[in-house]
């Protein structure tokens, strides 16, 4: 029933956008530099850029690709980016240490997985089975932090019971499994699907550990202060992109946009975020503009529990969950008549 309601909502959104396009025309474009990962999580950004939604909302977007979330946020700290689309774990860690960032919207939810060689898949039936294993990860990736939290819940000591090797990219982590240097790897989409096509097996979805939020829309406080209207315009583009993504008649164009930005085979794109995975009951990548304040706050607590942040940092991270601009975006698009409706859509309640 919830999925039917969501589909009906996005059909209405598509109609509203068709009726009232070009909200940003006639104004001087506001420049915004955005860092993204070449991953299926960022399909809403790709769509918004390709379909001209950002331009129609009055933005001049410069897009820059990075290997991992940490690199995106380091570039933001250095003043080279105004916004980024990292996984949620990295901005929490950066903000906890004082980075001037705000999480203002969502991009994707729970798409990480763990891969191993097929002949060893039986060794990973439960989280306790990771004891004594060597696992490849990309530090501060959302799947990495969620997996570590799961091990702690299973009673494992992260320093004594498992060897964790950190790589700069999920591609490198996957290659380490192929080469036999590690027993398994924690990856994000589309890297699990790529690894699967290269002969590895997905032994566990991180969603099974905890159905966590993933990539968030993160804005630098300096940019927010200078261009609050730019943040709202950006989020309007993301919301419009979500409506396009969810419309069944656009499926083939979504695949083409994914191919263009990710430079992957069509089969990978389809399996990563178009087709329904039989085990998950939904696409392997779940996208959405919702910020999800409650879910994100829970994730902050999870990171505190595994020692990635301290208590003071957790307070800072929760205070950086700011749905105001997303709420305003929904209202300006005419999708919510009241603050309560807008807050519900933004995941602020």
Question: How many CB atoms lie under 10 A from the CB of residue 165?
Answer: 15
The closest alpha carbon to 310, from 93, 130, 47, 145, belongs to 93
Q: What is the pLDDT of residue 235?
A: 98
* 230-260 tens-digit pLDDT: 999 999 999 999 999 999 999 999 999 999 9
Q: What is the pLDDT of residue 339?
A: 92
Sign of CA dihedral 93, 94, 96, 101: negative
Mean pLDDT score of the chain: 92
Pair of tokens at residue 126: 């439960």
Q: What is the pLDDT of residue 308?
A: 94
The pTM of this model reads 0.90
Q: What is the pLDDT of residue 4?
A: 45
Give the residue extent of every domain in the chain. 2-109+213-346, 113-208
Q: Where does the pLDDT of residue 12 fall: very low under 50, low under 70, confident under 90, or very high at 90 and above?
A: low
- Those residues whose C-beta lies under 8 Å from the C-beta of residue 123, and which sit 6 or more positions away, are 116, 129, 133, 183
Angle of the 228-246 helix axis to the 324-332 helix axis, nearest 10? 60
Instruction: State the average pLDDT over residues 38-59.
Output: 97
Percent of the chain predicted with pLDDT > 70: 93
Instruction: State the average pLDDT over residues 196-215.
Output: 93
Residue 175 has pLDDT above 80, yes or no: yes
Q: How far is CA 240 from CA 219, 247, 287, in A?
A: 19, 11, 13
Q: How far is CA 200 from CA 2, 175, 203, 329, in A?
A: 34, 10, 9, 42
Confirm if 72 and 37 have CB atoms less than 8 A apart: yes
Residue 24 has pLDDT above 50, yes or no: no
113-208 is classed CATH 3.30.70.20: no
Domains 2-109+213-346 and 113-208 share a fold: yes
Residue 22 has pLDDT above 60, yes or no: no
Which CATH superfamily groups domain 2-109+213-346? Periplasmic binding protein-like II (3.40.190.10)
84 φ, ψ to 5°?
Answer: -150, 165
Q: What is the pLDDT of residue 85?
A: 98
203 φ, ψ to 5°?
Answer: -95, -20
Task: Encode 28-49: b = buried (16+ Cβ within 10 Å), e = exposed.
Answer: ebbebbbbbbbbbbbbbbbbbb
Residue in this structure with the two tokens 């929904």, named with its chain if needed: 330
Instruction: State the average pLDDT over residues 156-182.
Output: 96
Sign of CA dihedral 223, 225, 227, 228: positive
Instruction: State the average pLDDT over residues 42-51.
Output: 98
Beta strand 101-106 with 216-220: parallel, antiparallel or unpaired? antiparallel
**What's the CA gap between 340 and 344, in Å, rounded?**
6
């Amino acid at each position: 029933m919830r999925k039917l309601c969501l589909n009906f909502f996005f059909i209405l959104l598509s109609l509203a956008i068709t009726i009232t396009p070009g909200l940003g025309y006639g104004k001087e474009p506001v420049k915004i530099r955005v860092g993204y990962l070449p991953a299926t999580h960022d399909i809403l950004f790709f769509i918004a850029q390709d379909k001209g939604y950002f331009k129609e909302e009055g933005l001049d977007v410069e897009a820059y690709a990075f290997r991992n979330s940490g690199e995106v946020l380091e570039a933001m700290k250095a003043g080279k980016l105004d916004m980024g689309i990292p996984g949620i774990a990295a901005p929490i860690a950066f903000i906890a240490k004082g980075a001037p960032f705000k999480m203002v919207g969502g991009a994707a939810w729970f798409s990480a997985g763990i891969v191993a060689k097929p002949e060893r898949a039986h060794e990973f039936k439960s989280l306790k089975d990771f004891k004594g294993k060597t696992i490849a990860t990309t530090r501060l990736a959302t799947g990495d932090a969620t997996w570590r939290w799961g091990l702690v819940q299973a009673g494992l000591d992260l320093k004594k019971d498992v060897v964790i090797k950190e790589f700069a990219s999920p591609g490198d982590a996957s290659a380490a499994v192929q080469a036999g240097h590690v027993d398994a790897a924690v990856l994000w989409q589309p890297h699990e699907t790529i690894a699967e096509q290269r002969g590895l097996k997905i032994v566990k979805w991180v969603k099974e550990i905890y159905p966590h939020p993933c990539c968030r829309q993160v804005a630098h406080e300096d940019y927010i202060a200078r261009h609050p209207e730019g943040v709202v315009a950006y989020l309007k583009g993301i919301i419009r992109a979500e409506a396009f993504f969810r419309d069944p008649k656009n499926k083939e164009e979504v695949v083409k946009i994914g191919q263009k930005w990710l430079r992957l085979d069509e089969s990978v794109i389809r399996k990563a975020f178009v087709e329904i995975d039989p085990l998950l009951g939904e696409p392997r990548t779940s996208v959405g503009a919702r910020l999800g304040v409650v879910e994100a706050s829970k994730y902050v607590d999870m990171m505190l529990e595994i020692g990635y942040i301290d208590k003071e940092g957790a307070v800072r991270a929760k205070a950086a969950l700011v749905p105001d601009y997303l709420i305003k975006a929904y209202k300006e698009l005419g999708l919510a008549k009241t603050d309560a409706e807008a807050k519900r859509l933004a995941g602020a309640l």
